[in-house]
Amino acid sequence: MDVLLFPASHPWLTLLALATVLALIFYRRTLRLFGFVIVPDDSIGTVTKKFVLWGRHRELPPGRIVALFGEAGLQADTLAPGLHLGLWPWQYQVDLVKFTVVPDDAIGVVEACDGLPLPDGRVLARPVDCDNFQDARAFLASGERGLQMSVVPPGAWRINTLLFTVRLERMTVIEPGKIGIVEARDGRPLTGGRVIGRAVACDSFQDARAFMAGGGERGPQMSVIPQGKYRIHPGLFRVAQVPVTDVPDNKVGIVTTREGASLATGEIAGPELPGHNVFQDPQAFVDAGGTKGLQEQVLLAGRYFINPMFATVEIIDMTEVPIASVGVVVAFVGKPGEDVTGEGFRHANMVRRGEKGVWVDVLDPGKYAINTYTHKVRVVPTANVVLNWATGKTEAHKLDANLSTITVRSADGFTFNLDVSQIIHIPRNDAPKVIARFGSMEALVTQVLEPTIGNYFRNAAQNSDVIDFLKKRSERQAEAKAAIALALKAYDVGAVETLIGDIVPPAELMKTLTDRKLAEQEKVTFTTQMEAQGVRQQLEQATALARTQAQVVDAERQVAIAEFSAQAAVKTADGAARSKKITA
């Protein structure tokens, strides 16, 4: 009972309040002695009958603990708020009990101590119309003892606490970014190898009666609970929160289901089906004939409310086809297709898009949402591709990573190495033929290009000696280009250019060639030196002649002078003689 408190400065008010309380207690006790009971407005009176004086309902029926017909013991009927007569204290015990109040954010879970026994295998008692357990008589007419399937919603209720125990449980709250997955503790058993209970309309598991009446099955449930607050019976359903499935940008989700029909023989994945809201409606998926296991359909970027007990999602990268390339699709699922290659191509079948096999239509550069378990995309470069037969030299595409320098043997028995570069080109529309024939670009290199080019140069070297091979390098390169282009044309591969790189003759031959070259160079040197000596001799002669030329000229002049002097003397003598002769 509440106690009123008053300030100490008004002692007369305190005395008045105490007197009022004592008077009320005395009044109630006095009334109680005469069989009167007053029940407050916020309470009910629970009644226990101590004995029965006469009548046929003196004892409770076997197994019962709550009386319906005035037997001695706990009474089903309670006293409503107000004044009640005839409840003598020596025969009746009346206890005042507050109303059962369920807050707005809670539910009341009820357990009955009396009623019919639960059937075998049942966990919760079936629902009974009893005004939210306020009508104990209606409940005991057909209700079952134990934990009840129905719950008490928020509010104030006149519930007989001698028959029912009400336990408050918080509402089930599903947080943002999560879903609730449910497991039922009661219901029909799962049959036929199934692992998850079918969906039942039951207001997100808040209506236990609808769940049971609709044939709900025990165990994991297909339906999930979205974000929000729910009045879910914790004794019937266990709810766990899991994150929603988020597929990021540039990713796809690969789905594997745990429920559905078995895959047909020879199939590796279930086909795409409409109407199941991208695996968010498991019951619609199963009803449409969906199969358990890997699914062909993928999830694009976005948020999905997928039950992880029904399906798992693996996040992978989107398939990217680079620039200057095409993607050839090899499908492992789909209906059998008709070959569209025609009579001219007999190596493998190619089919239309959506059919099982190698698709004749290619994927142009871009990103694609491809299920990599059901479809393989082989990237084929459509630009010129350089392949190097040179040890330690590899292009960025790595197709020539396992190629090495070619070793050949010449007609004169020498073994030597040569590096070769081959430039190839695969047209866009021929890319599916290459994949249909070889399966991948790597197989094209190992099965065709490597043996074709290696054997050609080995054969070419056997028809020539080393020296001739070295001298006619450009001719060999042109011949190789023509021969290799003809050979690759049969495989739908274009040969753009064949280039002979470094040629490494044998060391002993190189020494002989070097010595010969040195000798030739020495011979040239000696000849040059001899020619130089002759020129030097002529130079010396010319130099000496030039040095004596002045004396020769002087002598010649002196000779001429002497001759002229002699002639003058002769002339003089001749004149003298003539003179003498004349004189004589």
Place of tokens 């300030």: 7
Distance in Å from the first CA to the final CA of the chain: 212
CA atoms in the 13 A half-sphere facing the CB of 552: 6
Single-letter amino acid code for the residue at 47? V
Pairwise CA distance, residues 21 & 1, whole Å: 10
Contact partners, residue 546, CB within 8 Å, separation at least 6: none
Pairwise CA distance, residues 86 & 192, whole Å: 63
**In 456-541, where do the E strands start and end?**
494-504
Single-letter amino acid code for the residue at 278? V
| Successive 10-residue mean pLDDT values, the chain, 584 residues | 44 60 52 81 94 72 88 93 89 94 96 93 91 96 94 96 96 96 94 91 95 94 96 95 97 97 92 95 96 96 96 97 96 88 71 92 96 96 94 91 91 86 94 91 93 91 83 88 91 92 73 70 78 78 73 73 75 75 71
Residue 361 is predicted with a pLDDT of 94
Place of tokens 């020129």: 535
DSSP per position, 158-195: ---TTTEEEEEEEPEEEPTTEEEEEEESSSBPP-TT--
Pairwise CA distance, residues 346 & 503, whole Å: 40
Residue in 428, 287, 266 with CA at minimum distance from that of residue 362:
428
Q: Which residues of 297-310 are buried (b: 16+ CB within 10 A; e: fewer)?
A: bbbeeeebbbbbbb
Residue 5 is predicted with a pLDDT of 41
Coil, helix or strand at residue 307: coil
Residue 6 is predicted with a pLDDT of 41
- pTM higher than 0.85: no
Residue 180 is predicted with a pLDDT of 97
User: In terms of C-beta density within 10 A (0-12 exposed, 13-18 middle, 19 or more buried), how is residue 77 classed?
Assistant: middle
| Distance (Å) of CA 481 to CA 453, 474, 493 | 10, 11, 13
User: In terms of C-beta density within 10 A (0-12 exposed, 13-18 middle, 19 or more buried), how is residue 38 classed?
Assistant: middle
Q: Which phi and psi angles does 271 have, rounded to 5°? A: -75, 165
Residue 510 is predicted with a pLDDT of 62
Please, are residues 308 and 279 in contact by the beta-carbon 8 Å criterion? no
Q: Please state, as a whole number, how many other Cβ atoms lie within 10 Å of the Cβ of residue 381.
A: 18
